[in-house]
Amino acid sequence: MGGSGERYRLMVFDRPVGPWRATRQDVYDDAIARRLGSRQPWSTVTYLDISAWIQTRRARPTPASPPEIAPIGLREIADLSGRSAGIELTSIAANDGRSARSAGSWHGRG
């Protein structure tokens, strides 16, 4: 009855009264055993007491691993942007933790 990873349990008001089960049918059987539900012998329908209900828990999907990303340096950033002016390199270097002078000298400036 349930999809992959789904679990079910019998609840009365806001409290669980049974263990997590693999199928709803197992929970209906729990309800009947606890006199919180009924079923006629000729029927497949189970009636729950007005205070009883079935809680469903769906398994959380496993997140995919992020793709491997190679580190990129200042030179590659400048090449990708098509700019090599000192002002762009200075702001990039400041964000990278280098001084503006070292960024300029790294490209043969200063």
Among 70, 10, 8, smallest CA distance to 36 is for 10
Residue with tokens 């997140």: 63
In the numeric block, which tokens belong to residue 78?
């400048």
pTM for the model: 0.50
Query: What Cα–Cα distance (Å) separates residue 2 from each residue in 55, 103, 109?
Result: 12, 60, 67
Q: What span, in angstroms and rounded, lies between the C-alpha atoms of 32 and 53?
A: 12
pLDDT in single tens digits along all 110 residues of the chain: 445 689 999 999 989 999 999 999 999 999 999 999 999 889 888 999 989 999 999 877 666 666 666 666 666 666 666 654 444 545 544 555 554 454 444 455 54
Measure the CA–CA gap between 96 and 74, rounded to whole angstroms.
8
Q: Are 110 and 104 in contact (CB under 8 A)?
A: yes
